[in-house]
Amino acid sequence: MATTNMSPFLLRIHRVRIVISAPYQPSCCEPLRPVTPQGFFITGVNMALHLQIEMPDGSKWAVPVEVIAMNRAVYYAKHDGITIEESLENDTRPLFAGSPYDIEDWAANNMNWEDVEHLAVCVSKGEADYQEGWVNGQKEVIEI
């Protein structure tokens, strides 16, 4: 990752301009807003397509396909001795454009939740009976 002299918050990654604009705290069921692990909103990266994942609690989360594509491109760039941009443009994006299965397969078999958690956005909450928890859930008085 190469930095530029323009701003401490402007990064250049493989000719894709990423602008970090403001601190952001994600929460469940907000509009899709990709963020860095530090909680800054990212713009300038194509994150229109998302892989939606249903979690065990029934909540649904969306992960930008471009993040999954970049992960695959980095792997194959190292493996094939080419640039990440070449791998992304000539292999990964064409593969992913023609096959949603390959997106799901790469994500599930080559990535971990912690790799994408900071960019995942809750699309719908899980099914939880909060009244049941309120009435019968384990309780403890704590100091915060």
Smallest Cα–Cα separation from 20: which of 8, 5, 2, 3? 8
What H or E segment, with its residue span, contains residue 96?
helix 93-98
Tens-digit pLDDT profile for residues 47-102: 588 999 999 888 899 999 999 999 999 999 999 999 999 999 999 999 998 889 99
Tens-digit pLDDT profile for residues 29-50: 444 444 444 444 444 345 588 9
Report how far residue 63's alpha carbon sits from residue 50's, in angstroms, rounded to the nearest whole number: 5
pLDDT of residue 107: 96
- The reported pTM is 0.61
Q: Residue 138 — pLDDT band, cuts 50, 70, 90?
A: confident
